[in-house]
């Protein structure tokens, strides 16, 4: 009983920590469909794997039920990552292609025996809680779901055979810009899969694997290429912006991630239907949308910016943003200075380290999170200790200084943390100010270009809506 309570407290602490980590890295994390995860019983959460360790952090931190993971055994040897995996009760899995890793020198018989024990532990967990599994078997940078491995279906079958009644819950993981710091993420839980009654024992694994792949395709909306994905996203964006302009919406805000996902799904469904009927029409429309999107990107604008506020209001907003940034710099110069001298080099080192250590871009987001956990606190502690030791005389304008070294170090450490939080806000002011100045330049000196892009958006909107009406999407 005591051990169970301790494990529950440890899990809650780790979940809180992972949520904090995710909210520091992402500007926002939207979680929808939590009601689709039952409060009782157990089962499998199946998701695609587009963003390395970040996928697991979101599932562990934001799932409404406790989650057990099966993780590649090599991850248990990494600093911090291994501690977290052991802390959340993750189960190591030994893949044949990982045998070259340190600690993986085992025969095929030993590997199979170890995996049999791991699958048994996961099946036991799936009877009373939820096991999260990525059936693709590896993280990737592709815009489509990879061919699934049979592990999820075998685990589900094993949980059933051991007396459980597991559910199969598909999970959608979506990222605005998955490698970028302070972008947005969406975690969507979908209703449990209804299994057909004619799943025979001899074909159970193969048919269930196919069923899982079908549902993952439905919840992730995969495309054939990133170019096509960007075109579909551009269609979604221009339709939303043009519709708002025609309805007289004064200033359209950025779409929530759930709205983006639902809009993208409708656009993608319409594309596939129309391409089956007349691929030539669709290809020409996609080419025009792509050229329109490229023109926007060259100007540094979005669809929403074409209907920006009147020039006077834009000027007033730029003045306010500049005043806010200047006010923070004048009132909190020490905080802003420390934020740039301590946190900015550390953040650049995190980004550089993630780029150098990651074999592919798919691993960068997770590596940035964990490198940030190591490098930023180390930079804070080093700066705090240096200031504490060097602070031997009262500061100008003050006739005192803390006598105790630990007070000086603790004060500087608190200042470092505060400067990191306020620094995020300060740099956001600067980014918004730059965007406002760009909008002023385009609105004041490139009016003909903006008018031409509005006409293009309007024509593309009419064509898209016409296809939607015909296809009944």
Residue 210 has pLDDT above 70, yes or no: yes
Buried b (16+ CB within 10 A) or exposed e, 238-266: bbbbbebbeeeeeebeebebbebbbbbbb
* Residue, of 208 and 427, whose pLDDT is higher: 208
81-97 pLDDT, tens per residue?
777 777 777 888 876 65
Residue 459 domain flag: no
Q: Are residues 236 and 302 in the same domain?
A: yes
Q: Which of 158, 95, 100 is nearest to 131 (CA)?
A: 158
* 167 bridge partner residues: 43
Residue 233 has pLDDT above 80, yes or no: yes
Question: Which of residues 309, 330, 358 is at a domain's end?
Answer: 309
Question: Which of residues 252, 284, 309 is at a domain's end?
Answer: 309
Note the pLDDT of residue 232. Answer: 95
Note the pLDDT of residue 52. Answer: 83
**If you average pLDDT over every residue of the chain, what do you get?**
81
Reported as a pLDDT band with limits 50, 70 and 90, residue 363 is low
Q: Are residues 302 and 331 in the same domain?
A: no
Q: Are residues 296 and 333 in the same domain?
A: no
Reported as a pLDDT band with limits 50, 70 and 90, residue 385 is confident
Residue 46 has pLDDT above 70, yes or no: yes
Residue 315 domain flag: yes
Note the pLDDT of residue 444. Answer: 59
Residue 464 domain flag: no
- The whole-angstrom separation of Cα 202 and Cα 205 is 8
What mean pLDDT do residues 433-452 have?
69
The fraction of the chain above a pLDDT of 90, given in percent, is 29
Residue 245 has pLDDT above 60, yes or no: yes
The answer for residues whose C-beta is within 8 angstroms of residue 282's C-beta and 6 or more apart is: 271, 274, 275
Note the pLDDT of residue 317. Answer: 63
Q: Are strands 167-175 and 43-47 parallel, antiparallel or unpaired?
A: parallel
C-beta atoms surrounding 134 within 10 Å: 28
- The whole-angstrom separation of Cα 119 and Cα 360 is 29
Note the pLDDT of residue 17. Answer: 85
- Structural domain boundaries, residue 127: 2-220
Q: Are strands 130-133 and 91-93 parallel, antiparallel or unpaired?
A: unpaired
- The whole-angstrom separation of Cα 63 and Cα 21 is 15
Note the pLDDT of residue 190. Answer: 96
Note the pLDDT of residue 91. Answer: 84
* Residue, of 399 and 176, whose pLDDT is higher: 176
Note the pLDDT of residue 313. Answer: 52
Sign of the CA dihedral with 126 first, then 129, 134, and 137 last: negative
Note the pLDDT of residue 324. Answer: 67
What mean pLDDT do residues 165-190 have?
91
Query: Hey, which of 116-125, 354-363, 451-460 has the most confident mean pLDDT?
Result: 451-460
280-290 pLDDT, tens per residue?
989 999 999 99
Q: Are residues 321 and 391 in the same domain?
A: yes
Q: Are residues 161 and 21 in the same domain?
A: yes
Residue 191 domain flag: yes
Note the pLDDT of residue 11. Answer: 75
What mean pLDDT do residues 62-71 have?
87
Query: Hey, which of 16-25, 94-103, 104-113 has the most confident mean pLDDT?
Result: 16-25
Q: Are residues 288 and 412 in the same domain?
A: no
Q: Are residues 215 and 284 in the same domain?
A: no
Residue 461 domain flag: no
Query: Hey, which of 13-17, 23-27, 93-97, 260-264 has the most confident mean pLDDT?
Result: 260-264
Residue 230 has pLDDT above 80, yes or no: yes
What mean pLDDT do residues 374-400 have?
78
Residue 467 domain flag: no
Reported as a pLDDT band with limits 50, 70 and 90, residue 75 is confident
Q: Are residues 136 and 169 in the same domain?
A: yes
Reported as a pLDDT band with limits 50, 70 and 90, residue 258 is very high
Residue 111 has pLDDT above 80, yes or no: no
CB 426 within 8 A of CB 332: no
Query: Hey, which of 232-241, 245-254, 313-322 has the most confident mean pLDDT?
Result: 232-241
What tokens appear for 447 in the block?
Answer: 């009016």
Residue 345 has pLDDT above 80, yes or no: yes
Residue 97 domain flag: yes
CATH number at residue 131: 3.40.1130.10
Q: Are residues 34 and 73 in the same domain?
A: yes
Tokens 């993630």, located at residue: 354
C-beta atoms surrounding 347 within 10 Å: 20
Q: Are residues 204 and 92 in the same domain?
A: yes
Question: Which of residues 198, 220, 242 is at a domain's end?
Answer: 220
Residue 453 domain flag: no
Q: Are residues 298 and 319 in the same domain?
A: no
Q: Are residues 362 and 285 in the same domain?
A: no
Split into its structural domains, the chain has a count of 3
């Amino acid at each position: 009983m005591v051990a169970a309570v301790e494990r529950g407290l440890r899990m809650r602490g780790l979940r809180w920590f992972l949520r904090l980590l995710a909210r520091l890295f992402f500007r926002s994390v939207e979680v929808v469909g939590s009601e689709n995860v039952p409060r009782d019983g157990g089962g499998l959460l199946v998701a695609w794997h587009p963003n390395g360790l970040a996928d697991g952090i979101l599932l562990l931190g934001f799932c409404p039920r406790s989650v057990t993971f099966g993780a590649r055994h090599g991850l248990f040897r990494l600093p911090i990552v291994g501690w977290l995996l052991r802390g959340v009760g993750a189960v190591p899995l030994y893949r044949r292609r990982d045998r070259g890793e340190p600690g993986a020198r085992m025969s095929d018989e030993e590997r199979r025996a170890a995996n049999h024990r791991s699958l048994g532990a996961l099946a036991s967990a799936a009877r009373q809680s939820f096991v999260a599994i990525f059936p693709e078997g590896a993280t990737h940078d592709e815009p489509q779901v990879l061919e699934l491995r049979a592990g999820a279906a075998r685990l589900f079958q094993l949980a059933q055979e051991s007396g459980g009644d597991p559910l199969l819950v598909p999970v959608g993981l979506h990222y605005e810009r998955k490698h970028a710091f302070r972008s947005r993420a969406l975690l969507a839980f979908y209703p449990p899969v209804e299994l057909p009654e004619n799943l025979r024992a001899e074909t159970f694994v193969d048919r269930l694997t196919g069923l899982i792949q079908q549902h993952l395709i439905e919840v992730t909306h995969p495309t054939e290429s990133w170019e096509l994905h960007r075109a579909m996203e551009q269609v979604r964006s221009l339709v939303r912006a043009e519709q708002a302009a025609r309805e007289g919406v004064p200033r359209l805000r950025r779409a929530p991630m759930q709205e983006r996902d639902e809009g993208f799904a409708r656009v993608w469904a319409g594309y596939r239907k129309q391409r089956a009927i007349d691929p030539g029409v669709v290809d020409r429309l996609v080419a025009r949308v792509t050229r329109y999107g490229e023109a926007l990107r060259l100007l540094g604008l979005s669809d929403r910016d074409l209907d920006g506020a009147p020039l006077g209001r834009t000027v007033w907003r730029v003045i306010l943003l500049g005043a806010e940034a200047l006010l923070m710099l004048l009132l909190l110069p020490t905080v802003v200075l420390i934020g740039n001298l301590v946190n900015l080099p550390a953040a650049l080192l995190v980004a550089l380290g993630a780029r150098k250590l990651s074999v592919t871009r798919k691993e960068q987001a997770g590596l940035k999170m964990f490198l940030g956990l190591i490098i930023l606190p180390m930079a804070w502690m080093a700066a705090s200790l240096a200031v504490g030791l060097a602070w031997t005389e009262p500061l100008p304008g003050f006739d005192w200084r803390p006598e105790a070294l630990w007070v000086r170090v603790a004060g500087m450490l608190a200042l470092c943390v505060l400067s990191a939080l306020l620094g995020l806000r300060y740099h956001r002011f600067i980014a918004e100010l730059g965007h406002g100045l760009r909008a002023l330049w385009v609105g004041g000196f490139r009016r003909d270009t903006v008018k031409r892009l509005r006409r293009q958006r309007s024509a593309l909107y009419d064509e898209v809506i016409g296809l939607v009406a015909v296809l009944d999407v």
